Chain A
Amino acid sequence: MTLSLPLAGGPVERPLTIAEITATAREVLETAVPPVWVVGEVSGLKKYPSGHWYFTLKDAEAQLRCVMWRSDASRAQGAPEDGLQVFARGALTVNAKRGEMQFVVRELLPTAEGGFYAALFERARKNLEKDGLLDPARKRPLPPFPRAVGVVTSPEGAAWRDVVAVVGRRWPLTELVLVGARVQGEDAPADLCRALALADRLETLDVLIVGRGGGSKEDLWAFNDERVARAVAAARVPVISAVGHETDGSLTDLVADVRAATPSAAAEKAVPDRGELLRRLDALQGTLRSAAARRLALVGERLRHVATRMARSCERLVEGGDARLRDARLRMAGACERSLAARLAAMGQLAGKLDALSPLKVLERGYAVARDAAGRVLRRTSDFTPGLAFRLRVVDGEVRARTEGSS
């Protein structure tokens, strides 16, 4: 190593200035020690209005003055707290003005045990817990049939595309509303808060998905921001948190009403499945049919019973008696018969309806459906005009028929 020292190679001719000797020291340090990682505990961190951070890293035996310039500090995920054990990557130099050796930190990382991120996360989690925002009783159920589903995520990200694909397949009966937000980088937390507040203003929204696809822990950090978590907790409608990660939960996961592992999984939770609902309708149709069929059988039984008794009493009515009462009795008997006929017609109508759903099941029980030449179901006695040709559908086929007599 060759150094361009003012005193190199000869006797001291004059005293060096302080600037000269510190410049020499600086050159020695910067040349001799390449950028390195160090490990230590953060102490006395000061953030200057200029954006630069000054702090000390120390361990049991020594301490090192550190500076982190604004450009590097702004990339860090918030300032580390005093006492936090960190890894710092940087290079040694000399601060001439202070006459100090200084470590210029370019990057800070949490140490393996606990560490920087864990410390931040835990601090925010405790704050939320203190305010009752992690209480399971706060969790709201999702609406079964949302009118509109809001999605707070990046317009360019995979999350939006995934949600569109899943909802389009399962439940195209809803409206998907994108609320674009930056999900990564320094301004992501503020932007996510803005988007969440904006979503709150759309009244038709019934549920909200907040998230992004996978990424490194640093990429997903916005979803561990306490401000974002509070905005999720404050949302007017239930929120599904969908931050793509495999193991650790994010802070938004903890405050959201429902947590999903991925945006696709969130979409599945947000809307029902069309196929499933169609199967439910099939089941309902079956139940409806059998309930009506039971009802019909019961009424049929009762009517047959009544008809038998009525026929007997009508016979007794018209037998004998004097001539003055005969007409009245005949009219009464006629009324009885018409009433009975109306009940039978109503029954026939129900049978016809059942036939529309499951012809054979009903026809098997001995019921028939009458239709005219145009295929219209003949429901009432008034439909059967004298001489009308019609067809009777019975269980194994059709029978041609014609109404007798004249009115």
Chain B
Amino acid sequence: MSGPSLQEDLARLDAIVRALEANDLDLDRALALFEEGVERLRTARERLASAELRLRQLREAADGSVRVDDLTG
């Protein structure tokens, strides 16, 4: 489920790199962006490393509602 967060991380990293490459930032701003970039890289790597696939099964309950149960294996 961390896919969407990763997508955000990637989009933000792209934006940071573009901003840094534009060379029109003051140093403090550049530093802040760089720090954020390093942090985003770290969290993105962590997200990728820690994930474990979840298996579930979707069923319709007797009362007509939707049920999602965990599946093993």
A178 to B: closest C-beta gap in Å: 5
Residue of B nearest to A172 (CB): B53
With a CB–CB cut-off of 8 A, which chain A residues contact B48? 173, 274, 277-278, 281
With a CB–CB cut-off of 8 A, which chain A residues contact B51? 172-173
B8 to A: closest C-beta gap in Å: 10
A165 to B: closest C-beta gap in Å: 10
Check A278–B45 contact: CB distance below 8 A.
Answer: yes
Q: How many interface residues does chain A have, given as a range?
A: 35 or more
Bound Cα distance A354, B37 (Å): 11
Tell yes or no: A150 within 8 A of B by CB: yes
A147-B1, A202-B58, A350-B30 known; A281+B41 contact, CB < 8 A: yes
Write out, one digit per residue, whether chain B residues 53-73 have a CB within 8 A of any chain A CB (1) or not (0): 111111110000010100100
Stretch at the interface among A24-32, A95-103, A288-296: A288-296
Q: Which of A171, A198, A350 meets B60, CB within 8 Å?
A: A198
Bound Cα distance A155, B48 (Å): 28
Tell yes or no: A349 within 8 A of B by CB: yes
B49 to A: closest C-beta gap in Å: 9
Q: What is the interface of chain A mostly: helix, strand, loop, or mixed?
A: helix
Bound Cα distance A155, B4 (Å): 28
Check A353–B31 contact: CB distance below 8 A.
Answer: yes
Residue in B17, B54, B68 with the greatest tally of chain A CB atoms within 10 Å: B17
A305 to B: closest C-beta gap in Å: 15
Residue in A145, A280, A291 with the greatest tally of chain B CB atoms within 10 Å: A291
Write out, one digit per residue, whether chain A residues 262-292 have a CB within 8 A of any chain B CB (1) or not (0): 0000000000001001101100110110011
Check A177–B58 contact: CB distance below 8 A.
Answer: yes
A307 to B: closest C-beta gap in Å: 15
Residue in B3, B4, B10, B45 with the greatest tally of chain A CB atoms within 10 Å: B3
Tell yes or no: A299 within 8 A of B by CB: yes
Binding site for B on A (CB under 8 A): 144-148, 150, 155, 164, 167-168, 171-180, 198-199, 201-202, 274, 277-278, 280-281, 284-285, 287-288, 291-292, 294-295, 298-299, 343, 346-347, 349-350, 353-354, 356-357
